[in-house]
Structure 1
């Protein structure tokens, strides 16, 4: 297994997405986590009158969302 880790040129994110072992405190993963939590906080700060902004924030967070996509409750992010 060690030889596979040494020769594996994938990023930690690629390893996570593949379900393979990864370094949990990788700086790129930490940045992605912080950015996602920022998007959750931004979404939670919106009102129902800001539906286009809310949708855009959810699309950035999730990649894509279907129609209709309405959340009346604040989204929850994992707190450290």
Structure 2
């Protein structure tokens, strides 16, 4: 035996469905924004010469060492 929903129950269910749908839309928008940010970060890393398939931590460490060496060379030029 099935029971019919009251007007109040139906309205509450409709509001819940709308809320869930809005949540899905927000989540999809956030995911799209995140994917854009990841893509921009990957592009920037590649432009800097990073191999995205390689060891990023090792590459970052090598970059840090080179930056410190260059800074030291510049400091040596100062009076």
TM-score in same-fold range (> 0.5): no
Greater RCO structure (CA 8 Å; 6+ sep): 1
- Kindly name which structure, 1 or 2, has the bigger radius of gyration based on alpha carbons: 2
Indicate the TM-score class for this superposition, using the shorter chain for normalisation.
0.3 to 0.5
* TM-score of the aligned structures, taking structure 2 as reference length: 0.32
Q: Which has the higher helix share?
A: 2
